[in-house]
Amino acid sequence: MIPIKNPQPRNPRYGFTMIELLIVITILLLLTTFTVVAIDFTFESERVSAGARQVQSMLSGARDRAIRAREARGLRFFVDQDPDNGRMVSSVAYVGAAKPWSLGTITLKRPDFNNDGTVDDLDGDGAPDDTVLMVDGSDGVFWSSLKRRGFLGIYEFDANGDGVVDPAEDLNGNGAFDQDTPRIKIPGDKNGTWYRIRTDRIGVDSNYPNRIQLLNAYRDPGTTSPDEVIAFEGTGPSTYILELPPRILPDAEPVLLPDGVVIDLDASEVPAHWRPGAGAGYAVSYSNRMDLMFTPRGTVDGASAGTGLLHFYVALRQDVQNAMHPSVNRPTVNESASPRVPTGDIFDPVDDIAGNGSPGIGDRSLVTVVTSTGKVASHPIDITDNFINGSTTNTPDNYADDPFVFAELGEVKN
């Protein structure tokens, strides 16, 4: 008997149908999208933490450099060149103390800015003003050259007394009265005293191209009559030491914070001399020389030392720009308020402060420096919002009551 074979199907099926392939591809695309979104969210959150760690590391590094070098070292914060919001920092660099300048000799004089041989009446009381002295340098001091090279800072003032920063008074065009000037020690020995100076007099008078003015009264009234221009008979103090600003170290290129991460200066607690002048407005940039210096003992040096605690507010640039929405009416500083209102122009936003349906500041962190010890630490921000800033009214206002409280309590406990 011949066996009967089972017939084979004419069209055997191998693989998947088009519909099945489309379903699988759709599922893979959805999974990929969800994964990318989750990773991007994680990276965005991590960028702020990484930025805070970087700022903390750079500050600690500056302190360590000062201790190892046995001379002042620090960190320079570069303000972003943004015409609408020059109030953020995205890059920093290590700086070191410049060598002091002491070339040539000086002559101390009472104010005689019109060179008529008579002491000027600066305060308009009808008597010669001999409390503040001007200093004329010899040809060998080269102060005019230092000023042209940008080493002596910018001193601006309200010359016409109208309370407005006029274009002729605004030498660098930033809309504020900058008074970023160095110090001079007279005489230039162990018996000398440091004085702040005005550098705007340099180069004004062709007869005295190296003329500066002391901003505080000279400790010695002089040996001549108060109505005589020359303050001291004979030679008088003739030596000096001029303090030049810190310089970027040769091996220290500027370092960028992680992409999209900035230090919001308005929300930070920074030295007062970094901030724009009172009434300058929010379009005005901060100082162009924001240096935080450490002494060889590791403590904070200079005018910043008296601040106590410095807080650097690290956040995403986009979040800070949202907080800078033109419709936001920022609260006024009130140090005597209860609860305490921090120094600064903006306090940590909590909700939709711009009123445009967008969330407020997202991830953020603080880097705190204790000026008395030089210790650098990172702390979270307290976003508790129970009060209207500057008032004890128990009403939220979308601003944190005291964003620095965790840092302050942490340093007190330590």
Residue 216: what pLDDT? 85
Predicted TM-score (pTM) of the model is 0.69
Q: Tell me what the mean pLDDT of segment 85-108 comes to.
A: 89
**CA–CA gap between residue 40 and residue 44 (Å, rounded):** 6
Residue 357: what pLDDT? 42
pLDDT tops 50 at residue 395: yes
Q: How far is CA 395 from the centre of its chain?
A: 32
39: confidence class by pLDDT, cuts 50, 70, 90: low
Query: For 348-378, what is each residue's pLDDT tens digit?
Result: 444 444 444 444 556 888 999 999 999 999 9
Q: Tell me what the mean pLDDT of segment 255-261 comes to.
A: 92
Residue 340: what pLDDT? 36
Written as six digits, the tokens of 131 are 């409390």
Residue 174: what pLDDT? 63
CATH code reported for the domain at 39-95+256-413: 3.55.40.10
The highest-confidence range among 3-12, 190-199, 400-409, by mean pLDDT, is: 190-199
Q: Tell me what the mean pLDDT of segment 72-93 comes to.
A: 84
Residue 407: what pLDDT? 87
pLDDT tops 70 at residue 51: yes
The strands making up 193-198's β-sheet, listed across from edge to edge, are 106-109, 134-137, 211-214, 193-198, 183-186, 241-242
**CA–CA gap between residue 16 and residue 385 (Å, rounded):** 59
**CA–CA gap between residue 70 and residue 67 (Å, rounded):** 5
Four-CA torsion 81, 83, 87, 88, nearest 10 degrees:
-40
pLDDT tops 70 at residue 279: no
25: confidence class by pLDDT, cuts 50, 70, 90: confident
Residue 35: what pLDDT? 64
Domain boundaries, the chain: 39-95+256-413, 98-245
290 forms beta bridges with 77
Residue 345: what pLDDT? 37
Residue 350: what pLDDT? 42
- Which of 105-109, 297-301, 357-361, 402-406 has the weakest average pLDDT? 357-361
The highest-confidence range among 150-154, 282-286, 358-362, by mean pLDDT, is: 150-154
CA atoms within 13 A of residue 83's CA, in its CB half-sphere: 1
